[in-house]
């Protein structure tokens, strides 16, 4: 059963961003003279979700739920990212900052796509990636840029008169190759590239895993005017409260906290504010609603 509104297929190459990452990694060192990996200070990246953070639009402005839609704040179980960059300023083009991490890709589905099977699925709050502090050039950085790739969370709704709790697998990277994924013990075989907005939904009140395609995904970038992101990418941008200065000598933990404030949005056909997938109410947006960047 498909709970989807027909949308055009999405095609987006990440050549510019991934090329910059490869360039960076080609000259990254492996530690200072006489320093072992156990002694090396670490740069650790953590992921968190927060339902109390402000609900923002694509440009970082507070946003209400669109007229004719309804939304709820999902209960997160897992999250994964595919890209991390530290950016010196609002004028720095995407990919020209310090690219710390790029997820593995595959051409198994045709065009290069993020390989879902290689993503690190994190139960927030949790660590998604860690590297030696000398893997990122010393300098001062004003912004953190992180690409959300996968979200797994529980939502509530109603089907055939019964209230339900169900689980969503939400794929929001520009293009993701999915061999299989599992929701509450049910395996879904895909073996194909899927564009941003593809999702699976499982609940005990409906048979199998229903699959759909959201027509839009909110991606918050408050510096879009000076440093835009490619269409259909899912690279969130946030300014540090105080610029981050890396010296290469001290360990550091950076946390990307995503707003889940009413981040699951659907077309509310009957206006009751309850998601009813069997009544023609389709998902319109699964984008996270902002990111707060902190370090310690």
For residue 117, the enclosing domain spans: 42-263+280-295
Across the range 167-176, mean pLDDT stands at 97
Question: What is the pTM assigned to this prediction?
Answer: 0.86
Give domain status of residue 60, yes or no: yes
pLDDT for 3 equals 36
Give domain status of residue 28, yes or no: no
Burial 165-192 (b: 16+ CB within 10 A, else e): ebbbbbbbbbbbbbeebebeeeebebee
Position of tokens 């710390």? 100
Supply 272's token pair: 């009751």
Give domain status of residue 22, yes or no: no
Give domain status of residue 61, yes or no: yes
Give me the phi and psi of 263, to 5 degrees please: -85, -15
How many domains are there within the chain? 1
Residues 243 and 226 sit within 8 Å (Cβ to Cβ): no
Supply 106's token pair: 């595959």
14-23, 51-60, 131-140, 148-157: the lowest-pLDDT one: 14-23
Give domain status of residue 5, yes or no: no
Give domain status of residue 203, yes or no: yes
Q: DSSP letter at 54?
A: P
At residue 38 the predicted structure's pLDDT band, cuts being 50, 70 and 90, is low
Instruction: State the alpha helices, DSSP H only, in the chain.
Output: 15-27
Give domain status of residue 57, yes or no: yes
The mean pLDDT of the chain is: 88
Give domain status of residue 69, yes or no: yes
């Amino acid at each position: 059963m498909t709970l989807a509104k027909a949308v055009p297929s999405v095609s987006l190459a990440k050549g510019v961003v991934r090329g910059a990452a490869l360039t960076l990694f080609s000259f990254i060192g492996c530690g200072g003279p006489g320093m072992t990996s156990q002694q090396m200070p670490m740069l650790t990246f953590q992921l968190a979700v927060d339902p109390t953070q402000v609900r923002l639009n694509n440009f970082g402005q507070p946003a209400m739920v669109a007229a004719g839609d309804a939304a709820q704040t999902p209960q997160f179980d897992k999250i994964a990212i595919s890209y991390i960059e530290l950016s010196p300023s609002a004028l720095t083009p995407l990919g020209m900052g310090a690219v710390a991490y790029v997820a593995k890709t595959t051409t198994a589905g045709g065009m290069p796509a993020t390989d879902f099977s290689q993503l690190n699925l994190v139960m927030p709050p949790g660590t998604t990636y860690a590297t030696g502090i000398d893997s990122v050039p010393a300098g001062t950085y004003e912004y953190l840029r992180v690409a959300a790739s996968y979200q797994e969370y529980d939502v509530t709704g109603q089907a055939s008169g019964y209230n339900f709790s169900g689980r969503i697998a939400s794929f929001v990277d520009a293009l993701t190759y999915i061999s299989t994924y599992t929701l509450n013990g049910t395996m879904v075989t895909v073996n194909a590239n899927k564009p941003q907005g593809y999702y699976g939904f499982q609940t005990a009140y409906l048979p199998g895993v229903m699959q759909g395609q959201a027509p839009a995904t909110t991606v918050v970038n408050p510096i879009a005017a000076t440093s835009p992101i490619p269409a259909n990418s899912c690279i969130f941008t946030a300014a540090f409260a105080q610029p981050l200065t890396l010296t290469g000598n001290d360990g550091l933990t950076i946390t990307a906290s995503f707003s889940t404030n009413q981040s699951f949005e659907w077309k509310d056909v009957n206006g009751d504010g309850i998601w009813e997938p069997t009544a023609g109410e389709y998902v319109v947006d699964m984008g996270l609603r902002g990111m707060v960047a902190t370090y310690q």
